[in-house]
Structure 1
Amino acid sequence: MKSMVIGGIILIVALIAGTYIVAGDALSSDISIESSLTFLGAICVITITVFVALKYVNQIKNDTASGELSEEAWDGIGEYKNEIPTGWALAFVGTMVWLMWYWTVGYPTNGFSQIGQWNEEVNEYNARFESKWENPTNDTLVAMGESTFLVQCAPCHGVDAEGINGKAHNLTKRFSKEQVVHVIKNGANSLKTAYPAGMPPMMLTEEADINAVAEYVAGGFKGEQPAMYSVCAGCHGADGAGMAFVAPNIKAYDDALVTAVLTDGKKGSIGMMPSFKGRLNETQEKALAAYIRSLGE
C-alpha cells in the first residue's frame, strides 16, 4: 500500500506538471482569480481521481467477497445477496433527478440561445423591411433589385448580367435561340412548384419547325408567327404570356417566372442553376424581376 501511495503522489505531480506545461502560458498571461481557481480545480480533480483509483485498485487486490450467497449457481459460481452500495444508489438517483431537471427546466431548454436571439432579430428586421417597402415604386424596385443581383446573382451571371464564360445565361437578352431549341427537345420540368405539370420533351419533332419556333420566340414574338407555334400556344398562350400553374411567360421575365426559377432552380442548356428558396423575401424577388426586365429595356 505504501508503494502505491508513493506511486500515486508521483503520478499526481507528473499530471500537474503536464497540465502546467500545456496551459501554463494562458495562466501566466492572465493572472486572474478565475484562471487561478481553474488551475486549482484541475489540481483537485487530478488528486481526487488518482487517490480514488488507488483506493479501488487496493480493494481489488486485497478485499474478499462476503455475505449471503443466493441459491442460484452456474458451474459452481454463485452470486452474493449484497445490497446496492449507498454511494452508487445516490449517484443513480441523483442522475435521474438531474436528467429530469435538464429536460424540463435547465439549459438549453429555457436557457439563453444565440441561435434563438439571431432568429428573433432576423424576423424583426424582416418585419420592418416588409413594412417599409410594402408599396415600392418601380424605380425603387429596380434599384433594390440591382443591389440584390450584385450580391446573389453576379457571381455566375456577372456584374453586367451577360454571363461569365458560359457559366450562366445572358440575362440582358430574354432567351437565345439555342435555349429555346434545348427546351423544345429536352423539355422543362424543373419549375414544379409554380408549374407542376412541366413541359414534356419533343413537343415538335421536325428540325425546320423547331428552328422556326425557336427563332420566333427568341426574336421577341416579332414577325410572322410560325404555324407550328400553335403547339406551344396551347399552354404558353398565343402571345407567350403563359398561364398560371400551367406554363410560364416566355415573352418577358415577369415576376412569376423569376420567382419560380429562384424557388426551384432551373436546368438549362449549359447546366443547373441551384434553388435560392428562402434566401430572398417576396419584395426582393419582385425587385430582382424588375431589375432583370430593366436590363432588356
Structure 2
Amino acid sequence: MSEKHKDDVTGVETTGHEWDGIRELNNPLPKWWIYTFYATIVWCFAYWVVMPAWPYLTTEGWTYTKGVIGYEQRNVVMRELAAVNESRAGAMQQIAELPLTEVAADPALMELALGAGKAAFGDNCAPCHGSGAQGSKGFPNLNDDNWIWGGTLDDIHYTLVHGIRWEADADTRNNIMMAYGRDGLLTRAEIADVAEYVLSLTDRAENAEAAARGEEVFASQCVACHGEGGVGSRELGAPALNTAVWLYGGDRASIIESVSNGRRGTMPAWGGRLDEATIKSLTLFVHSLGGGE
C-alpha cells in the first residue's frame, strides 16, 4: 500500500509510489507550462472558428468549414500566380508572335522561354519522357540527336502542335507500322529471318543464311519506310535500324515483337491544350536539351 511522506533530502512530498526502494517525488509542473497548455486549448477552439478546419460530408460530397474570415491558401497562391503572369504577359505575347529563330536570338526572351518551357515540360511531358527528358521504352529520349520526325525548331513545334497518331487532329503525324505477324502478312519463319537481317545491320546476326533470306523480305515489306539498309525516314517517322538507338528494344525478341505486332505509339496534340507561347517555349526548351538540330 502506498504511503506519502516527505523526502529527507529535498523536503518534497512523494506521490506514495515506490519501486525497489525508490520513491517518486511529487513535483508539480511549472505554472507557466500549465497556463501555456490551457492557452493552446483556447487557441485551438478559436482557430476552428476563424480558419478553415473541419471536413464534413454533404449531399454533394465532402467539403470543410470555411472559417469566419474565409481564408484559403489556394486563393493566395492564385493571386500570386496571376501577378506573375501579368508581369510577364507582354514578353509571353512576344514569344507567341515572333518566329522561333527571333525568340532564340533574344537573350531576355530566350531566358523566359526556357524557364516557361521547363515548367510546362514538367507538367505535361515528364510523365512519358521523364523528368530529365531521358525517355524510356516506347518514349523517345529528347537529349540526343536521334529524331524520328526531325529535331529542328520547326519539326519540334509541328510535333507538339499536332501530335503523333492523334485521332483528334487532322494534321497529326500519322504513319504506322503494320502487325506483320498478327495480321498474317508474314509467316513466323519470315519474321525470324527479317529480325536476323535487322540484327545484321549492326553486326549482331548469328545466322548469315537467315539474314540473307530476311534481306529479301525486308526489301519487299520494309524498305518503303525504313529505307535501304535500314537508314530510316524522318518524313515517314520510320526510325533508323542501323544504329544502337532503339525505341522499343533492339534485341532479337524485341525486334520479333515489333515486326509481329507492329508499333503505334501516340503523342497528344498540344495545340488544342496549350497556348502558342507555351508551345513555343516548350519547343525552345526541348531544342536546347542537346539534341536540337
- TM-score, with normalisation over the residues of structure 1? 0.32
Structure with the greater alpha carbon radius of gyration: 1
Higher percent of residues as helix: 1
